[in-house]
């Protein structure tokens, strides 16, 4: 089942806690890419100085002010794209950064997008999508996908539940200096595809 609008329009921390284990899917003219979300971070422009929306609406962040269920993509350090799931009601300015997934479909295409070859060692496979920039590179997600409606059929999320032995853990967010104390990074404990342990 594809996740519907109502899943996304809830409060950002509620959606964040429900988003782990869901499957990110990209259908690129029939070429499928998919992966289970194993790590994410919440950003809330109303209170959180690290959020892109903290200073109000700009051309870059306007998608993040949409109602929930849209994709917000930005360029990090001028080098890497990172993708976010917009949450909440219109005008809220909240989103969830997808930091790592466990690859499912389209693995060979992901390896090609990331490394320009077809095979990786077993060890290298754990680094295929273990970071926000890596996920976008592997899936072929760029700035042109910012604003895509996640209730459409190009990029969307499928419902799925955590495995019986999987537990959610929470920590501080990675790589930020402002509002760094907030415990808004959620991840599946001991999952081998995390960006960090």
Partner DNA sequence: CCACGGATTGGCT
Partner DNA sequence: GCCAATCCGTGGA
Spatial neighbors of 46 by CB under 8 A, at least 6 apart, are: 92, 93, 94
Cβ–Cβ under 8 Å, residues 23 and 158: yes
Regarding 84 and contact with DNA (CB under 7 A), the answer is yes
What does each C-alpha distance from 192 to 27, 104, 107, 164, 188 come to in angstroms? 25, 14, 16, 16, 9
Check binding of 52 to DNA (CB under 7 A): yes
| Cβ at position 178, least distance to DNA in Å | 6
Largest separation between any pair of C-alpha atoms in the chain: 45
Phi and psi at 112, nearest 5°, equal -65, -45
Measured from the CB atom, the residue of 118 and 167 that comes closer to DNA is 118
Q: Nearer to DNA by C-beta: 25 or 182?
A: 182
Among 127, 151, 158, 160, binds DNA (CB under 7 A): 127
The residue count for binding DNA (CB under 7 A) is 40
Candidates 80, 125, 158, 168: give the one binding DNA (CB under 7 A): 80
The answer to whether 127 touches 134, Cβ cutoff 8 Å, is yes
Residues that bind DNA (CB under 7 A): 41, 43, 50-53, 55-56, 58-61, 64, 72, 74-80, 82, 84, 95, 97, 114, 127, 131-135, 137, 173-178, 195
């Amino acid at each position: 089942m594809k996740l519907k609008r109502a899943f996304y329009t809830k409060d950002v921390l509620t959606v964040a806690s429900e988003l782990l284990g869901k499957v990110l899917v990209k259908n690129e003219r029939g070429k499928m890419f998919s992966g289970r979300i194993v790590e994410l971070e919440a950003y809330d422009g109303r209170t959180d100085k690290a959020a892109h929306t903290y200073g109000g609406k700009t051309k870059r962040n306007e998608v993040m002010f949409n109602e929930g269920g849209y994709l917000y993509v930005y360029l990090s350090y001028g080098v890497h794209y990172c993708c976010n799931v917009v949450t909440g009601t219109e005008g809220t300015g909240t989103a969830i950064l997808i930091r790592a997934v466990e690859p499912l479909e389209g693995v060979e295409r992901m390896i090609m997008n990331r490394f320009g070859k077809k095979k990786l060692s077993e060890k290298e496979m754990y680094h295929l999508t273990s970071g926000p920039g890596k996920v976008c590179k592997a899936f072929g997600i760029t700035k042109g996908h910012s604003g895509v409606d996640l209730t459409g059929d190009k990029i969307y999320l499928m419902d799925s539940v955590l495995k019986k032995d999987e537990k959610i853990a929470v920590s501080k967010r990675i790589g930020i200096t402002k509002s760094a104390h907030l415990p808004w990074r959620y991840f599946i404990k001991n999952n081998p595809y995390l960006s960090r342990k």
